[in-house]
A and B are shown apart, each in its own frame.
Chain A
Amino acid sequence: MIKTGTTHWLLHDIKNRGITAWLLSGLLTAFYLILYFTEWFTPVARGIGLDGKWTLYGVLYTLAVTLGGVYVIRKYRHNRYQVVRTSVVIFVQATFAFSIPHLLKFLHQPEYYFSYFWPLKMDYLTPSYIFSLPLPFILFSFLGSALLVPILGAFFGKRWYCSWVCGCGGLANTFGEPWRHLSDKSSTAWKIEKITINTVLGTSFLLTAMLFISWGTGKSNPELARFTVGFQSFYGLIVSSMLAGVVGVGLYPLGGTRLWCRFFCPMAALLGLVQKFGRYRITVKENMCISCGLCSKYCEMGIDVRSYAQAGKSFTRASCVGCGLCAEVCPRGVLALENKSSRDPQEAVLVQIQGANAARPLV
């Protein structure tokens, strides 16, 4: 039941797909369309002393993450995981995703974002671009995607990236906090998600392969080169601009905050695959769930956490970004995020205890 009063009505309305939510969604979508497809923001940026619309966007983005982050830290101040995680998100956005690239540019170095990796940032494995950079950047790009991403993913799950480092996830978990519960929890949505996200992943691999082939064969195959360029700009338009920006953020107030991450992001798909075979999991306390459903309601990835919790089954879902909100909202402390080694250390201790006390009678 909504609290009485206009302010409360408004807050409910904007958070629950009311008329104000549609308006805000329209505004956000318009913002992204203007940003991507016009130069209207360029004079605005120059007017306040910035060098272009993308710098303006960077400023706004960092501001949104910071202000939203402060709100989130305040809201969950009793939860150390949320405080630490959100602080890191703000820090990464302010440094790796904003000041450092600009500083590099100022120092006449490439504007490089150390917090982004292929296949989220296709450029970083696009040969014509990446090989034009100084060697350290080339190394970071290759080692980042080939080693850092999968190794950290295996140990900590995809959360090390998706809810601690990534800018898209960062915005969702800070500015997007009021809309996290809007994600679709149905099993149908889960089916669709598996198809769409793996399609994008496959497409990104295919594009990268073609970029390398076309770069390798050079001028000897102009047909392929032309096709690859077209494919590349098609992917850029559909995936990077439309799905990540316009749909991803524009629809926050209607579809929840992780539409992009859940349905389309190739990086999330890749990390999800690693996560399925890695150590990360959500541990469920047996028999303690009361099926209230707060965990499912506040899962931004649309995972029906309750279905696992009420069955008493610990689980790992490829889509889980490890934001930890299910554990936060659970009124009975049933859920915990864990990175378990294959042999559960608790079980090891247990065997010891049982061995030592075998003679002791049980009640």
Chain B
Amino acid sequence: MHYVIVGNGVAGVTAALTLRKRDLHARISVISGESDYFISRTALMYAYMDRMNLRDLEPFERKVYDKQRIDRVRGWVRNLDADRRVIQFEDGREITYDKLLLAVGSVPNRFQWPGLDAAKEGVVHFVSLQHLAECERLTSSTGRAVVVGGGLIGVELVECLVHHGIQVDFLVRESWYWPMALAKEEGALIAGHLTRHGVKLHLEDEVTALATGPGGRVSAVKTQKGLDLPCEMLGICIGVRPAVDWLSGVATPPEIGRGIKVNRSFQTSLPSIFSAGDCAEFARRDGSPMLEQIWYAAKRQGELAALAMLGDAVEYTPPLFFNSAKFFEIEYTTVGDATRLPDDAKSFFHCLPGEAASLRIVERQGAVIGFNMLGSRWDHTWLERWIQERRSMQEVVQQLHLAQFDVEFGRTKLDRIRAAFAEYQERDRRHVA
């Protein structure tokens, strides 16, 4: 049996290790065009800021791959022939598989702004090792930069650029930062924090055109609100999309939607070919596409896809949503539904006075459904449990100490939060009355 995995990101490598755990004899090959060894993409920013070196980004010791007998193959796959069970590299090399996992991840979105094609230099993304190298190459010749896109990767790139003393204009299309994940109040809290770090945040504004200077290097960005922002670097961080473009031209393309279409057992439309991670597209119960493009989901999917490849009956259902992030110094934990809420949801929001910290607990029909926590640490497994057990907000606030995860001596004072909650309840009662 030869398991071939295209992509050595967290989904692919987790799958490989899971396969080995169960099948001691199979041949397992992991293919990557990006790097020889699995790296933690989430840590690219720390390499950019010299808090780590590239080798530190590797989550496993190199000898693990030998010990686990996982063959690493370097190269970009360009062709797939499901009839012959063969994949082919850019340079013509071929590999035969028995079972194939496509864990090819995603690529940054681009938007065809006028002037983008003319910009031969200075336009960057921040998703891969190659992007990191490009950013580093340009950094010393950059005094000002514009970053577009109000998501997590955008703010990571902003942090790195600020670290290197670059003046950053941060363009966010929405009316506050990251409305996908944060409500208006949290968005404002982060905006204030970014401003304190010297970032010029422009909300409700977007790029309309690029100007280029000598050598085709980007020199300015024009915006819808009429700003003309000079810059030597433009970071485009407007989300990612599955890296599936190459699949349209292969001998036997699997069914593609926004990503590679799979059923709940990670099977694509082609026999013995599976897909997991950023690039996998599931169908929701209502038929709409579901893509989970976050680290945790990729890891989870990689493990389950491996089980499916081994022949286990797998029926993937995403667990209760959770995610985490860090915006400069502010840590963020979210569980369940905390934004874009239905009308009958109620939300208790409290900003800790004097701190860049807040918490939001959302309740619907007497049961908590979501948490958004900024600036303090919480054990999300407790928050998940409370949602699953349909606890009331009242119960949750009383039990909140159980979920605290701050450092010793540094626990967030809960009495103020509880006092604020009592006021909130009072307001709520009066409102109902």
Tell yes or no: A121 within 8 A of B by CB: no
Determine how close the nearest CB of chain B comes to the CB of A143; give it in whole angstroms.
27
Determine how close the nearest CB of chain A comes to the CB of B77; give it in whole angstroms.
24
B103-160 contacts to A, CB under 8 A, are 136, 139-140
Most buried by B among A12, A186, A285: A285
Contact indicator B49/A294 (Cβ below 8 Å)? no
Contact indicator B410/A285 (Cβ below 8 Å)? no
Interface size class of A (residues with CB under 8 A): 35 or more
In whole angstroms, what is the CA distance A81 to B63 when docked? Answer: 36
Residues of A within 8 A of B389 (CB): 353, 357, 360, 362
- If A186-B61, A285-B405, A333-B331 touch, whether A291 touches B388 (CB-CB below 8 Å) is no
Total residues of chain B contacting the partner, CB 8 A? 51
Tell yes or no: A135 within 8 A of B by CB: no
Question: Is the contact region of chain B dominated by helix, strand, or loop, or is it mixed?
Answer: mixed
Contact indicator A293/B43 (Cβ below 8 Å)? yes
Residues of A within 8 A of B43 (CB): 290-294
Tell yes or no: B90 within 8 A of A by CB: no
Determine how close the nearest CB of chain A comes to the CB of B83; give it in whole angstroms.
37
Contact of B402 among A285, A346, A361 (CB under 8 A): A346
Contact indicator A79/B407 (Cβ below 8 Å)? yes
Question: Is the contact region of chain A dominated by helix, strand, or loop, or is it mixed?
Answer: loop
Tell yes or no: A73 within 8 A of B by CB: no
Determine how close the nearest CB of chain B comes to the CB of A353; give it in whole angstroms.
7
Contact indicator B164/A285 (Cβ below 8 Å)? no
Determine how close the nearest CB of chain A comes to the CB of B38; give it in whole angstroms.
9
- How many CB-defined contacts (below 8 Å) exist between A and B? 121
In whole angstroms, what is the CA distance A286 to B381 when docked? Answer: 7
Contact of B164 among A3, A78, A82 (CB under 8 A): A3
In whole angstroms, what is the CA distance A187 to B64 when docked? Answer: 10
Contact indicator B407/A327 (Cβ below 8 Å)? yes
- If A287-B296, A332-B331, A362-B388 touch, whether A12 touches B407 (CB-CB below 8 Å) is no
Given contacts A4-B139, A353-B389, 13 further A-B contacts (CB under 8 A): A1-B136, A4-B164, A78-B329, A79-B407, A80-B408, A288-B324, A291-B43, A292-B52, A294-B46, A297-B56, A333-B331, A337-B408, A361-B390
7 smallest beta-carbon distances between A and B, as pairs? A80-B410, A333-B377, A292-B43, A80-B409, A291-B59, A290-B42, A331-B326
18 contacts between A and B (CB under 8 A): A1-B50, A4-B164, A81-B409, A186-B61, A187-B63, A287-B296, A288-B324, A288-B380, A290-B296, A290-B324, A291-B40, A291-B43, A291-B59, A293-B57, A304-B61, A332-B325, A336-B405, A353-B399
Q: Which residues of B contact A (CB under 8 A)?
A: 10, 40, 42-43, 46-52, 56-61, 63, 136, 139-140, 163-165, 295-296, 299-300, 322, 324-326, 329, 331, 333, 377-381, 387-390, 399, 402, 405, 407-410
Q: Which residues of A contact B (CB under 8 A)?
A: 1-4, 12, 78-84, 186-187, 285-288, 290-294, 296-297, 304, 306-307, 310, 324, 327-328, 331-333, 336-337, 346, 349, 353, 357, 360-363
